[in-house]
Structure 1
């Protein structure tokens, strides 16, 4: 294993660009895998950077440095403390472990997703004035990159990999603070079936959030992933669509389809419509043979702190459904369908294989 150098690095200038209409410079930092070689399928590697504890930084953009031929997906976490004090470790939960590396969670404390990538999604630039705050006066003291290598085939000749993300940031405070709310499920998909994997939670914090982007994620069986804001009006549920996509398309952050605000007491809900032609039960898990059901909602707040609880999970089928959660006026047809021309097949995209 290479020396623990990246672990001790602090955000520094490697590239700059001027901000239009100001003297400010946007800086860029490379958070990349330090030339790793996965030796097993379904490898999850993590690598961290420690953020300068004497300053605040404001992350405004992300540029991926990989392709789907190499990495299945990448997640960038903000952590209070990383999973282990090393420069690379196995961090895939129930997935495989590569010999020579420790096994630990992505974060030991304070985990929150701030960026996600899959299926050759392009770069992401946040709206003007919006940023993820990290550093001195933030709960995010470390950034941890997690890369899922679904196959070891690209590395059978001992090739090394530097997949990762270029992080763009500013040093001047921004008026709006970004956050990501992750909705997901557990559960299982029966053989030869169509399964709805559903989740929801109530916003309990006295804070107004402004959704501006969403991202969907499943493995091979996902056909539609949809997310909603649900508010109450005289005992009836009012469903406001935030976004939906075929998860076999590039898994980038797309603009929300409805400009709305989410407040204390509102609920957020997501459904993954899964179609299985398999002869066996498929369960939620970390490997290519498993499934995932995720809806990421990126938002901002007018202030200096995002939601304290960034996760919303249910047990999934057969234990949880929107009906069991007490919802009414459920938009079944809308939640599991896409407009003509918006499926991966109609757009000429080969359905994702891992």
Structure 2
């Protein structure tokens, strides 16, 4: 089947599904509210299942070339002692290849490069998705956690929920020897190599919604994490306040369907999850490949969208539930020995592929 699609949102999921639908012979227009692709952004771990989705979208080889292999990592206590390890070679054995690290701008760039000129309309916000319904066979809501498309479909019946933590993230001009997370009592700090000479970092602290440290973000981060093991003090010393991002962490109440009529949701618009498994971008890529495949193979739009909903809603909502449980573990302030045992057990069963 071929047709026309309006994609609302030019992020990872939106650009990915545009690639998939164009390869299937569809006519696609992407509406993106920002004026262009971002020049900066934090790192993403692209897991093997998402790399295979990129293969189906036609850009897998480029993603592997531009990414770098994720090294071994560890989950540690503030004194540096190891709780559990993440074995990169084990992932390769289990899934046939390892995780590739790409920054968000690099991933968005390679997805955009594969699209014909004019496919993406930058500076084109869509506040009323219904206005596109008559002009396209399918309207794809890839417009993020605060999706206008989802609001048009369900109003406020399935709200965002506060996850109980507030988070900071950014990059620093520093090489670190390995990726990893360090877990204290009700807070954690993580680092991931992003590119030569650049490290992605993030921090999360259990706090009431809307919490803002009175002494300022950077001062608070250095107070909370400055006496933790190396190389965290060096990372904290190199944080540029101008590039520091701070936001409360939310996740989406599970939806009963990702489809309504000719409207369909993917990525965070459909299943925004906490970042604890690092699966947000990966699941958006897999959504994009599944939706493209369904619309290419089915005889009509309703059966294609029903197939996509059946294939993706269950797995993504299970992933979101696992991420939420992992996030709650990070909020533990007492019985951290029991928490550490739970972390070791979780990693023993292997990470998601």
Using CA pairs under 8 Å that are at least 6 residues apart, name the structure with larger relative contact order, 1 or 2.
Answer: 2
Q: Which has the higher helix share?
A: 2
Q: TM-score range by the shorter chain?
A: under 0.3
Q: Which has the higher strand share?
A: 1
TM-score, length-scaled by structure 1:
0.22
TM-score, length-scaled by structure 2:
0.22
